[in-house]
Amino acid sequence: MIAYFVHNAEKNADLIYLPDLHCFVPVDRDRVEAFISVEPDFSSWAGESCELVKPEEFGEVIASREDSGDVCVMNPDLWKKRMMLHLGSPQ
């Protein structure tokens, strides 16, 4: 199952869109940690129901990943900024 990490610049907000589940999940620290974890189980996630749309309709897709795959970052600079916001500075 694929998940898209999307940034909405107008709202200055992030969400994870799960098209197979027809839902999106607002991003917080726990969701970021789950998204980047070794084996996320996106099928167990629940969120706000939505229509099946292109992920870009929510904003800029900055990363994606399959349950069993690696995170694929499309915009490294924005990804780094959003990770710093949600996870803080690396120690």
pTM of the model: 0.93
**pLDDT (tens digit per residue) in 56-86:** 999 999 999 998 889 999 999 999 999 999 9
Cα torsion 82, 83, 88, 91 to 10°: value is -150
Nearest to 3 by CA among 85, 34, 87, 78: 34
Average pLDDT over residues 3-30: 96
The domain limits of the chain are 2-87
